[in-house]
Chain A
């Protein structure tokens, strides 16, 4: 038992899940009506031109052969060539990934900070009007999905009090010295705080929209589990030692209360990443999700496949990390 076993077990189920995703993505997409090849060629192309290009993309072979070719390519890191841009899918996808990752991580940090503070404050003031107000706010935030929060934020901070940018990732006229696509991190490393501020101002609202529902979940769960912990004997014992309520919550209760919350937050974080698809569209943010919607509209099969697989890898990866983190934080598992 222990970390290694947990890791191996989870890796095995992850592999099965990813294989299932690959099969479904491949076959669902083959049903798409409309000939993508015909759309690539200029009007007036001959049947021979179409046949030649179809052969080039391997679309003339039986579907199971296409699957084998595609899957063996994927396993070697070859996701094929995008039909619309005629560039390798892997490069396109990896080029957009940093934007989406930065957005998701910023949203996660915001959610943890907001939800954590709400839970701690609500626990400290349990049984008072403050807790009641926090419960109502959490309930509201939880009931309404990120898409609607995004629109509300656009109206509030884009139109009514225009303090943040409502579209794009960075002001287009700016000169960008970056070598990677991790603009947020690289601008910090290069000490270009002017660029950093511009990027944050673009990311703030989409990240907040993604963060609000997750913050509510964290706030609710953590508060509930903190309140349960606050009744336990070791917490009472700490009070007799002379500690104030804030210290008792932070040092005695928090760590044990975080564990049950953590697993659920992991699943919820994958929902958050899934939410980037529509939020990026809403805020015209140049990430994976926005690219995915364009790919669907343009019937760019190889690109769609690549993006969906990448999302699936991220999702299962997050769940894997959460499970390991849970095992690592739980002293009973760590020393067993």
Chain B
């Protein structure tokens, strides 16, 4: 259990596989949602409202995790909700990553006025409460999947820019960069060919963490009822509804919450696990 320095050894492999396993399952469920989901996620039936999950008295067969107040199948809505959550995670995460990392790389390596402008922008961004900022942006952009993605990119690029900037500065001070310059590589060439590969592990870790954050932001916006059209199944929307009827039908809150919790945990543990894998670079 202990290594030579007397530190507790972590079993990094296990959590990496568990998180990757859960996320892989989600991807499969999302892709094949129409074939997997037992019911139509939008079908309402007021006679079947607030049915409990299958092991509780009064459950209806076919509605495994019960129904919400409008009689919609909770399991099917969670399954279809995975599509929206993963789409947001993938698209918003990637775009945020590319833009934020680019700006951070430029600020950290080119320095000078580029760094001055970008650093000041980061300072200003850090002075906004992010949740309020995102709600405000959705109000400006109007609800919809695209708006959520734009809001996440606009708000979260600083996460990448800050870290990548610091990393690029540290790398830029090292000897191998100077020798690349001596050999005759230009500044921009050095940035792409020498610095970027060395900060890439950091960027990958941040990207994984950002995907988890994107899922949460989507849920928060759905919760505040500003996300997608209200009918569409989103985990946040289900949680918002579940929150209001938590004393009458706990399952409407519990199941989407557990799904969201595990997904966010999985993204974050995947990121931390990768960080340990890249250990020599990151520490």
Interface residues of chain A, those whose CB is within 8 Å of chain B, are 13, 16-18, 20-21, 24, 28-29, 31-33, 126-129, 131-132, 135, 139-140, 142-145, 147-148, 151-152, 154-155, 158-159, 267, 270-271, 273-275, 277-278, 281-282, 289, 292-293, 296-297, 299, 304, 307-308, 311-312, 315-316
Contact = CB atoms under 8 A, between A and B. Distances in A.
A28 B142 CA distance: 13
Contacts of A145: 213, 216, 264
B261 interface: yes
Contacts of B219: 147
A203 to B, nearest CB: 18
13 contacts: A20-B121, A28-B140, A29-B140, A32-B140, A139-B269, A145-B264, A155-B250, A273-B129, A274-B130, A278-B224, A308-B128, A308-B133, A316-B127
B246 A293 contact: no
B20 to A, nearest CB: 15
A31 B265 CA distance: 36
Given A24-B124, A24-B128, A274-B132, 14 more contacts: A13-B123, A32-B140, A33-B142, A126-B6, A132-B1, A132-B8, A143-B212, A143-B268, A145-B213, A145-B216, A148-B260, A289-B131, A299-B139, A311-B132
Contacts of B224: 278, 281, 293
- Does more than half of chain A's interface fall in helix, strand or loop, or is it mixed? helix
B137 A28 contact: yes
Interface of B: 1-2, 6-8, 10, 120-121, 123-124, 126-133, 135-137, 139-140, 142, 212-213, 216, 219-220, 223-224, 226, 239, 243, 246-247, 250, 253-254, 257, 260-261, 264-265, 268-269, 272
B23 to A, nearest CB: 14
A127 B139 contact: no
Most chain B CB inside 10 Å of its own CB: which residue of A142, A281, A289, A304: A281
A315 B129 contact: yes
Nearest to B254: A155
A268 to B, nearest CB: 12
Contact of A16 (B120, B135, B257): B120
A131 B9 CA distance: 11
A21 B139 contact: no
A127 B2 CA distance: 7
A316 B1 CA distance: 44
B247 A159 contact: yes
A296 B135 contact: yes
B136 A17 contact: no
B128 A148 contact: no
B220 A315 contact: no
A145 B121 CA distance: 25
Contacts of B223: 147, 278, 281-282
Contacts of A128: 8
B257 A143 contact: no
A273 B239 CA distance: 23
A20 B124 contact: yes
B250 A159 contact: yes
Given A148-B257, A151-B257, A296 B6 contact: no
A282 B240 CA distance: 9
Nearest to A23: B124
Contacts of A29: 136, 140
A256 to B, nearest CB: 20
A315 B126 contact: yes
A109 B151 CA distance: 32
A20 B126 CA distance: 11
A17 B127 contact: yes
A18 B209 CA distance: 29
Contacts of A24: 124, 128
Contacts of B2: 127
